[in-house]
Amino acid sequence: MKVKAVIFAAGLLLGLPISTQAEPLPMHYPVPGGIAVIKLDTDTRPQTVKFQNRRVLTQESNNAWYAIVGLPLALAPGQHALTYKTHGQTRKIQFAVQPKDYETQYLTIKNKRKVNPNKQDLERIGKESKIIRAALATWSEQTNVPFDFELPVHGRLSSPFGLRRYFNGQPRKPHSGLDIAADEGTPILAPASGTIIATGDYFFNGNTIFIDHGQGLITMFCHLNKIRVKPAQVVEKGQRLGDVGMTGRVTGPHLHWSVSLNNARIEPRLLLGPEFRTQLPPPAEH
């Protein structure tokens, strides 16, 4: 009873819809890199929901329909809108995105080519980027999308999501995942059920796996030592995907875990249990 009370109180504080169904909605955290959970004015599943011209996941909870919107890290705070079609009409809903400051991290990479690739490396990176973008843009219809994720590796959360990163003193894109430090060979488990989209060995990401959980919810696992699944394979929550390694651009053995929603990389802890969600500070006010 105490745990339920804590979750309920946190939900009221952050303004998220409280669901008592077996498959709850994710945490409402409307910041760049977060999730906006928006109630739709419709009694049936909307035909299409879009944000920034990208399809958005919808889920029913307590006899109401919600849009579950991934907010890109580069999204400017302020008023935004999504559109949806229902009963032959197109409607628009405005919602506010609050500002959030992310910390800065400075890393030293011994392999300088992983910071400043040569011409051959750039050609490889260009080809791989197309594959990665296609995997993250995957859309598959699924009625009930899982949001009750488990941490994929037992280890230390070494680098949080959203860090503004500098490699060897040079600025790079913000950290789009959650790093979990663990010994090489530590099992990596599926955080939720889904289908393997693709696997591969990439210049920056090393050995990588992509899982499709439905309606644009994709997870990515990087730097593996060994991959134990194959494309098109259906995996269950808790099933072993591979082993922790240090392939690609790394400073030590760890798993880089990314969560993508409507092709926006979001804070993975928003889909984990309350012990992880309560680590996140409340969104800043304008």
Cα separation of 237 and 253, whole Å? 23
Q: What's the mean pLDDT in 90-117?
A: 83
What are the residue ranges spanned by the domains of the chain?
Answer: 2-100, 104-271
Q: Does domain 104-271 have CATH number 2.70.70.10?
A: yes
Give Cβ neighbours of residue 229 (< 8 Å, ≥ 6 apart).
196, 199, 209, 235, 241, 242
Answer for the pair 211, 219: CB distance below 8 angstroms, yes or no. yes
More confident residue, 25 or 21: 25
Closest CA to 261 of 25, 64, 101: 25
pLDDT tens digit string along 169-221? 766 677 789 999 999 999 999 999 999 999 999 998 999 999 999 999 999 99
More confident residue, 21 or 122: 122
- Topology (CATH level 3) of domain 2-100: Immunoglobulin-like (2.60.40)
pLDDT tens digit string along 29-70? 999 999 999 999 988 889 899 999 999 999 999 889 999 999
Q: What is the pLDDT of residue 223?
A: 97
Q: What does the DSSP assignment read for 215-278?
A: TTEEEEEEEEEEE---TT-EE-TT-EEEEEB--SS-SSSEEEEEEEETTEEE-GGGGS-HHHHT
The alpha carbon of residue 285 and the mean position of all alpha carbons in its chain are separated, in whole angstroms, by 24
Cα separation of 47 and 284, whole Å? 33
State the pLDDT confidence band at 167, using cuts at 50, 70 and 90. Answer: low
